[in-house]
Structure 1
Amino acid sequence: MTHDTYTGVFPAMTTPFHDDESIDFETLQDHAQYLEAAGVDGVVPMGTTGESATLSHDEHIEVIEAVVEAVDDVPVIAGSGSNNTREALELSRRSADAGADGLLLISPYYNKPEPEGMEAHFRAIADEIDLPQIIYNVPSRTGRNIAIETAVNLADHENIVGYKAASGDMNRITEVIERTRNENFSVLSGDDAMTLPIIATGGTGTISVSANIEPERTCALVGAAVSGDFERAREYHHELGPLFRALFMVSNPIPIKEAMEIRGHYDSGRMRSPLNRMNEKDLDHLREVLADLEDGEIPQVAEAEE
């Protein structure tokens, strides 16, 4: 079957932990419901922002099940990728069984496959799992770009409906958009600071870190841009710019978890080792950025849906 593509805002959810580093499922579900009520178009548990690298496979599935149970009317796009094709297939099968509505598949990391191996990896999962799938290019973490030709080739698979663009290279991103614009295929920003330019060149939305704490503003930005109101979209882009930068002062998801604690979404911004808490100087800057945003007017959900 041919699946629908994705348009809008899809927060890359964090995974809250208790002080003993066990998963805080109550807070996780509360956060999923907060995001849905704020007007997002879907949620993405178990991506990089969800600290997937430090969770066991069983914990991956428990998180996905909890988020699926918590939300009512938005799709759950589960991170289920790996650098091991067999492992990615197994995680993807289990995610589907857990109720995921779609999959986010990071490109194989560390072993740095050639384009032919990369394409075979994604096709193996798409051939096996009948869910809409988004391939994820983030070379700063994986050590290898998904070749443009590979992304274009994969767009013809009925189960591969999107590309999460986090290379930071607009030439690469816009060529993927250009060469897939007649396909049933979405290009989504994987970098909050590049959401507006990506949509301006034909992208359809964002898998967003900042939307965890600013879902209404992020929805307003994307809603305006997708509808062609770039004057209003620019206003939100510049208003959110200091936050976009602050959330990547150090490795994601360290700043977003600290921000969620500051905002009262979490009792603790704890992360699993080897990630560590922010230093006081960076925390002070993050607090200032968040305080400035709180002084501004928050858009209504309806505005983000125009």
Structure 2
Amino acid sequence: MNQEHTISLAGIMGFPVTPFDDREQVNENAFQANVRFLVSHGLDSIFVGAGSGEYQSLTVHEYAQLLTAAISETNGGVPVFAGAGGNIRDAVERAQLAEKLGADGLLLLPPYLIIPEQEGLFQYYQTIAGSTSLPVIVYQRDNAVFTLSTLERLAQIPNVIGFKDGLGNFELNLEFVQMIGKGLQWMNGMPLAELTMPAYSAIGYRSYSSAISNYIPHVSRKFYECLLAGDDAMLQQIYREIILPIHRIRQQRKGYAVSLIKAGMEIVGLPVGLTVRTPLIPVERAHYTQLEAIIQRSHELIANTHA
């Protein structure tokens, strides 16, 4: 039986960035400030070393450093998940390290580069899940796309508790939720997940990963409250004035999924800096200025709803 009640994936999931100094060394103090900011604004869990955290560029030492810092900073207040994936040997090593350091669970990222057969995909996730007793979430995106039968097999693994979707195939997602149901917890992991959360919520997804919560968590919270309450008028205003304008900037350059977060965090005064590791690129000045205006508007809009 899956450990579906041992840890909840409901709500808004926080994905902190990995701050680097000018020499591209991890800035642990800035990372702790990021985690503290997310927790203080009511996010329901923290995911370390995933896509927003530039997992692909972290050494094992840096991975351990960030995870230790997050566990210390949250102090049991919210669950802390660690990313693990890519090269299978590295993934297993990091999964076991995360358990040793005291993480609450794992987000299993796709395998490196190849597009596998379904049996290969199953074996990949089964191997990582079987290397640890931690609860794990499997992540569908890019080269890791499941059939129903494969996901049903994974759902039978005792410590597989959740499924994060970054693909956006709603026919497939509907089939998954209807056929597997409470056998897994369902998480929206699409880029700028607020864009698609109403559609995901309608088919049974109860959580989403919010990149913008790193710098405008008041928007993430208000958005989710409006969605749950059926406040369509406010939801539409948030879309028109905040979410869609940010989405348009993100589409301007590849890699902005990470670097735009850091730009937003600098704008609101969080000390993470703008440095990203290659092959990512920093945000261009014109786009930075556009984001500043959107963030300013976000504070005005949400403040007016409480006036």
Structure 1 and Structure 2 fold alike (TM over 0.5): yes
- Aligned: 1:125 with 2:125: no
1:79 equivalent to 2:83? Answer yes
- Secondary structure at 1:62's aligned position in 2? helix
From the superposition, tell whether residues 189 and 222 of structure 1 become closer, same or farther in structure 2 (CA, over 3 Å).
Answer: farther
1:250-269 counterparts in 2 under 5 A?
250=253, 251=255, 252-266=257-271, 268-269=273-274
The equivalent position to 1:60 in structure 2, one of 48, 59, 63, is 63
> Quick one: distance in 2 between partners of 1:243 and 1:137?
24
TM-score, normalized by length of structure 1?
0.88
Does the Cα contact within 8 Å between 1:210 and 1:247 map onto a contact in 2?
Answer: no
Q: Is the 8 A contact 1:5 1:186 kept in 2?
A: no
Q: How does 1:77-156 map to 2 (within 5 A)?
A: 77-82=81-86, 84-139=87-142, 143-156=143-156
Matches within 5 A, 1:272-283: 272-283=277-288
CA contact (8 A) 2:165 2:187 kept: yes
Query: Given the superposition, is the C-alpha separation of residues 41 and 267 from structure 1 closer, same or farther in structure 2, using an over 3 Å criterion?
Result: closer
In structure 1, stretches of 5+ residues that fail to align are none
Q: What is the deviation of 1:157? A: 2.1
Q: Which residue of 2 aligns with 1:168?
A: 168
Aligned to 1:202, which of 201, 204, 210?
204
In the alignment, which residue of structure 2 is the partner of 1:37?
40
Aligned pair partner of 1:286 in 285, 291, 296? 291
Displacement of 1:164 in angstroms is: 1.2
Q: 1:225-240 alignment to 2 at 5 Å? A: 225=227, 227=228, 229=230, 231=232, 236-240=238-242
Q: How many residues align?
A: 296
Once residues 150 and 64 of structure 1 are traced to their aligned partners in structure 2, the CA distance between those partners, rounded to angstroms, is 30
**Partner AA of 2:269 in structure 1:** G
- Cα distance 1:172–1:109, how it changes in 2: closer, same or farther (>3 A)? farther
Secondary structure (helix, strand or coil) at the match of 2:47 reads: coil
Give the superposition deviation at 1:294. 2.4
CA distance in 1, matches of 2:240, 2:170: 19
2:218 partner amino acid: E
Distance in 2 (alpha carbons) for counterparts of 1:111 and 1:228: 42
Structure 2 residue aligned with 1:214: 216
